Amino acid sequence: MKKISYIVVFLCLFSLKIVRVRAVEDYLSLDAKSAILIDNASGKILYEKNIDEKLPMASMTKIMSMLLIMEQIDEGNLKYTDKVLISKNASGMGGSQVFLQAGEEYKVEDLLKCIAVSSANDAVVAMAEKVSGSVDAFVDSMNKKAQELGLINTHFANPHGLDNENHYSTARDMSMLARELLKYEDILRFTSIYEDYLTKPDGSQIWLVNTNRLVRFYDGVDGLKTGFTTNSGYCLTATAKKNNMRLISVVMNASSADERSKDTSTLLTFGFNSYKNNIIYDKEKSLGTIPIARGKLEKIDVYLKENATVLLKVAEKKENYSFNIKANKIVAPLKSNSIVGKAEIIDNEGNIINEIDLIIRKDIEKASFFDYLKRNLKVITGGK
């Protein structure tokens, strides 16, 4: 009798284990043909499904277009207030649009909002022409940037995402591209808008509604870009932030807009429920000092450009980590917030788990003749 009871207990426990595993599998059962979930800070993959399968990405293409625009703004070559003249080519674009007319002028900020919120093909073509002089030149820049980022399974044929056999990407590549765009945090000012208006030159207004419904209906979602064509199916690269953790999800070739949103919600909920992001060093705290050549100061404090974080499963405990400062040779003068090197984050086993840029927090002025004289006198007098 005892043997029988032990067997029954064992079978009961075994069956409970099977039920638990199946429940998790059911929870992550996705409609999309391809999907990925990553942690933005580390790039670590938290979930994957056919992530290297080449598929049309439709208007998720505009993530790359927005990246090139944001780079130009960051480098000072383009301003939000710059005017853009709408060409006949831009006004004649098909697909999703905001009905721009040839000869009209809009600010860069207005067109970027139309791209991010309404996925406007006419707006993105107008910006491509503004940035590169022509759509073809802009597409060349898109492919060049893809190579720089290591997007080996991606190729662009246009800046908007309308179907073309030479226009494709993968879930992995799209997540990497989204992570690059998120380095320019100001883009979230546009992608997080659910509804707004575009005021046309004649005073009339076009109502803009975000094609990413999760911006309104999922707490923490503030981007990034949807996509749909007959060939691509329903796609969405999304990002959300909760509890100091930002996640990026990509779903490609879902069967409907509802399934696209459902799959994305499933991935994000899984990520936030299963993982936590621990800050192991605050970017506001000096990491140490480095020497300065020909500067008014002889050394300066350096800071992490962003918080150093480590991704853990919810039940895991934080370990101890160390930092290895790899500073460049710093020669004055230099502006505040300049990148002056990198900091390697090293775990208990000596593995480098991440690298973060090092910056300075104040301007470094060039030393004058009198600065050098003071230093020499200090040496002669023994520091008195």
CA of residue 77 relative to chain centroid, distance = 21
Amino acid at 225: K
Q: Would strands 45-49 and 288-293 be described as parallel, antiparallel, or unpaired? A: unpaired
Q: Do the beta carbons of residue 226 and residue 252 sit within 8 Å?
A: no
* DSSP, residue by residue, 5-42: HHHHHHHHHHHHHHHHHHHHHHHT--SSSEEEEEETTT
Amino acid at 277: N
Of 139, 117, 127, 122, the closest CA to residue 226 belongs to 117
List 87, 119, 141, 261, catalytic entry? 119
Other CB atoms within 10 Å distance of the CB of residue 103: 11
Catalytic residue status for 42: no
Q: Do the beta carbons of residue 73 and residue 81 sit within 8 Å?
A: no
CB burial string 244-276: b at 16+ within 10 A, e below? ebbbbbbbbbbeeeebbbbbbbbbbebbbeebb
Catalytic residue status for 169: no
**DSSP structural state of residue 331:** E
Tokens 């990553």 found at = 38
Q: Do the beta carbons of residue 128 and residue 135 sit within 8 Å?
A: yes
Amino acid at 169: S
Q: Which are the contacts of 269, defined by CB distance < 8 A and separation ≥ 6?
A: none
List 59, 65, 132, 192, catalytic entry? 59
Catalytic residue status for 62: yes
Phi/psi at 343 (5° precision): -120, 125
DSSP-H helix ranges across the chain: 2-27, 62-74, 88-91, 108-118, 121-132, 135-148, 171-181, 188-191, 214-217, 257-274, 369-380
Summary count for the chain: helices (H), strands (E)? 11, 17
List 62, 130, 145, 276, catalytic entry? 62
Other CB atoms within 10 Å distance of the CB of residue 191: 25
The C-alpha atoms of residue 115 and residue 108 are separated, in whole angstroms, by 11
Q: Which residues are catalytic?
A: 59, 62, 119
